[in-house]
Structure 1
Amino acid sequence: MGRIATVGSLALLLLTTACGGGEDDGAAAAKSTPANVSATVAGVVAPAKVEVIAGLTGCKVRIRTEADELREGVCRTKKGDYLITTFPQEKFKLTWLDAAAVYGGKYLVGTRWVVSAKPEVLDRLRPQLGGKIQQLRGVGPTPAPSAS
């Protein structure tokens, strides 16, 4: 019971610091958030806002898309560049993944959010965010085996 209360308190702390305004960078959230925030806590706050996910990864996010069905933010960090997409409902995420399947690739997928990046960046972000790395197949011809 004590662990549940602790995790709940950390989740509440993350939500209140992420919803606060004023500072341009994630410094205020980083100061208020314990340094060892785990994927378990990230799972508690998910589905989250783009800004919350960005804060968990140490990113100063730049919002690129604001729409009824999704929000997207771009992150450029030492870990690499990545795109965070959040959805107001799970059905929008599933539709987005279905459309992205045309392109193939790997994505880090959580509850009502997706992170798009190179596979090595996804591997580095997963311990902080949780979620699952999902391989999308893509369409079109597959490369022929080389003759060498």
Structure 2
Amino acid sequence: MDLVRGVVGAVSVAALALVMGCGGGGSRAEPDAPEVSAAPDAGVMAPARVEVIARLTGCEASIRIEADELRQGVCHTARADYLITTFPEDRLKETWLDSASVYGGTYLVGMRWIVSARPELMDGFRLTLGGTVRTP
């Protein structure tokens, strides 16, 4: 639960930075060079929707943040609590990661989404969702 509190704090700061620096008027177009995150075992690319990513990881997410710049859901499972954050544009994801870097942590990063969880869960999530494990 301490991980979730720490990540929620990081997310709050990152969301505030996004709202202050990126509020409205921007294009919601796809990025020119999308990051491909094919899951090695599943042979699929996880969609950038909190609810679908949550189902793929075995939970039903409770949405905590619903904003133009990001959506975030929290998952509570027997294995762990973790956060799923999605973004309408890759540049917003990178801004969030830059803001979260002051808090440390390990993130599974895909095309317009991030899963924030304990490091020991990342390999299993990566096999299901694809993406890249990053420590900003």
**Bigger Cα Rg:** 1
Q: How does 1:1-148 map to 2 (within 5 A)?
A: 38-41=41-44, 43=45, 45-46=46-47, 48-136=48-136
Q: Which has the higher contact order (CA 8 A, sep 6+)?
A: 2
Q: Distance in 2 between matches of 1:124 and 1:80?
A: 13
- Distance, in Å, in 2 between the alignment partners of 1:129 and 1:39 is 8
**CA shift in 2, pair 1:78/1:123, >3 Å:** farther
Q: Which amino acid in 2 is paired with 1:91?
A: R
How far apart are the structure 1 equivalents of 2:42 and 2:71? 22
* TM-score normalised by L of structure 2: 0.67
RMSD between superposed Cα atoms in Å: 1.6
Cα offset for 1:109?
Answer: 0.3
Unaligned residue ranges in structure 1 (runs of 5+): 1-37, 137-148
Q: CA deviation at 1:51?
A: 0.3
Q: TM-score, normalised by structure 1?
A: 0.62
Distance 2:73 2:105 in 1: 19
Mark the CA change 1:76 to 1:67 in structure 2 (over 3 Å): closer, same or farther: same
In 1, Cα distance between equivalents of 2:93 and 2:108: 12
1:24-58 CA-to-partner distances (Å, cap 9, x unmatched) read: xxxxxxxxxxxxxx4421x1x43x21001001111
SS at match of 2:60: coil
Other structure's SS at 2:84 match: strand
In the TM superposition, residue 123 of structure 1 has moved relative to its aligned partner by 2.3
Q: How far apart, in 2, do the equivalents of 1:39 and 1:117 lie?
A: 20
Structure 1 SS opposite 2:102: coil
Q: For residue 108 of structure 1, report the CA deviation from its aligned partner.
A: 0.3
Partner of 1:5: none
Which 4+ stretches in 1 moved above 6 angstroms?
none
Letter in 1 for 2:128: Q
- Aligned to 2:114, the other structure's residue is in SS state strand
